[in-house]
């Protein structure tokens, strides 16, 4: 997200920032996933249904708040609670995906119609609340004791303090807020959505669920007390499940829009310069010309396949491609893999209220991100 300037001090600050990310995110992620396992274990004692939709959103919000803000919801009192943050993120995503006239009539006409019909009222409200939230966080970090525990805000404020007058690019508070906006809106929602769809598909496909659990438990061994990031990448079948989830349920059905730099002709259509283009990765993932049985959840389709989700294969683009692809892809994938590995190792899962396989509501909802319309509730049974 941040590019080093010519100044050596800035480069050193950036390297410290990157090293901090690699080391601290691992500990934070393991702690937060462990907390989820503990809470699910409590529900398993009474065989009570667990709202996994809420659980996953709470998990990703906790990870992001600790990494970005240094705030641990489980240990410290914060001026804004976890549910409010999740609510703000959801409202912001919905507001960004709402229709505006400017999207279809660029220029004065579109802006006039948006003003006339108050299309930006909701966006301005929610982003005003987010701006106040970011300002409060930055204010806390500017206090003498505010940077005792390194986090993303601390690192960026340190970079601002170390900037020299000769620097060609100067980081400012607006840049800090913009980065926090990216972290929150892209980090909390997308990972949670992917985990929800993965668990929904697994419980709808008992064969795949059983194979995944057997593969994880055989690979990691029995009676493990804890699963850590050292175990990531060991379970091949789980990787296939994550790929198949990205194919069927990309968190963002349309990747971030691009704008043409010059006139181009695509399949006989003339596309003028400065035209906004959106790539429908949801449709690509279900294209029958590219995929066999495209509507079926079949992780085995990726066995011995070179197709990956890291932007090099245009059949599978959940994170986009090129210079503008999602910069937080490694963090998001690790969040998903570690969480699923823990939940599938330690627990067996069933449907609540006498529901049978195939009766789970899989209806989609949303605009920018596509979520499961009905929250996912499953009953855990502790295995180890």
Domains, the chain, in order of start with CATH, read 7-90+185-382 (1.10.630.10)
Least confident of 71-75, 129-133, 359-363: 71-75
347, 44 Cβ separation under 8 angstroms: yes
pLDDT of the residue at 37:
97
pLDDT of the residue at 78:
64
Q: Is the pLDDT of residue 292 over 90?
A: yes
Most confident range (mean pLDDT) of 87-96, 107-116, 157-166, 374-383 is 374-383
The answer to pTM > 0.85 is yes
Q: Is the pLDDT of residue 20 over 60?
A: no
Of 358, 342, 306, 382, which Cα lies nearest the Cα of 45?
382
235, 216 Cβ separation under 8 angstroms: yes
Q: Write the pLDDT tens digit of every residue in 143-181.
A: 887 777 778 888 888 888 888 777 777 888 988 898 888
Q: Write the pLDDT tens digit of every residue in 51-102.
A: 999 999 999 999 988 888 887 877 766 666 777 777 888 888 777 777 777 8
Binding residues for heme: 326
Q: Is the pLDDT of residue 199 over 80?
A: yes
Burial code of 191-208, b = ≥16 C-beta within 10 A, e = fewer? Answer: bbbbbbbbbbbbbbbeeb
Binding residues: 326
Q: Write the pLDDT tens digit of every residue in 214-257.
A: 999 999 999 999 999 999 999 999 999 999 999 999 999 988 88
Percent of the chain surpassing pLDDT 70: 93
pLDDT of the residue at 311:
86
């Amino acid at each position: 997200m941040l590019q080093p300037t010519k100044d050596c001090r800035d480069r050193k600050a950036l390297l410290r920032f990157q090293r901090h990310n690699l080391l601290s995110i691992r500990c934070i992620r393991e702690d937060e996933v462990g907390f989820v396992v503990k809470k699910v274990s409590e529900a398993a004692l009474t065989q009570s249904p667990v709202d996994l939709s809420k659980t996953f959103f709470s998990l990703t919000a906790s990870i992001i708040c600790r990494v970005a803000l240094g705030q641990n919801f489980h240990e410290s009192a914060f001026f804004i609670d976890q549910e409010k943050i999740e609510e703000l993120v959801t409202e912001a995503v919905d507001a960004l995906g709402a229709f505006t006239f400017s999207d279809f009539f660029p220029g004065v006409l579109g802006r006039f119609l948006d003003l006339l019909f108050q299309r930006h009222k909701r966006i301005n409200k929610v982003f005003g609340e987010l701006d106040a939230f970011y300002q409060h966080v930055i204010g806390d970090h500017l206090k003498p004791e505010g940077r005792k525990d390194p986090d993303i805000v601390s690192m960026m404020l340190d970079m601002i303090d170390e900037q020299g007058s000769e620097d060609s690019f100067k980081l400012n508070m607006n840049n800090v807020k913009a980065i926090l906006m990216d972290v929150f809106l892209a980090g909390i929602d997308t990972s949670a959505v992917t985990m929800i769809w993965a668990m929904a598909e697994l419980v709808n496909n008992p064969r795949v669920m059983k194979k995944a659990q057997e593969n994880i438990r055989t690979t990691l061994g029995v009676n493990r007390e804890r699963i850590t990031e050292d175990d990531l990448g060991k379970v091949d079948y789980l990787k296939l499940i994550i790929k198949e989830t990205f194919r069927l349920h990309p968190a963002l059905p349309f990747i971030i829009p691009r704008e043409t730099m010059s006139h181009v002709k695509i399949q006989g259509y003339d596309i003028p310069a400065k035209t906004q283009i959106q790539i429908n990765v949801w449709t690509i993932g279900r294209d029958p010309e590219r995929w066999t049985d495209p509507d079926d959840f079949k992780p085995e389709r990726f066995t011995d396949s070179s197709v990956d989700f890291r932007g090099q294969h245009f059949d599978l683009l959940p994170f986009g491609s090129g210079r503008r692809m999602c910069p937080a892809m490694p963090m998001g994938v690790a969040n998903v893999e570690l969480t699923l590995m823990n939940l599938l190792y330690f627990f067996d899962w069933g449907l609540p209220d006498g529901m049978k396989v195939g009766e789970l509501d899989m209806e989609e909802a949303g605009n920018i991100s596509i979520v499961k319309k009905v929250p996912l509730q499953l009953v855990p049974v502790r295995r180890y």
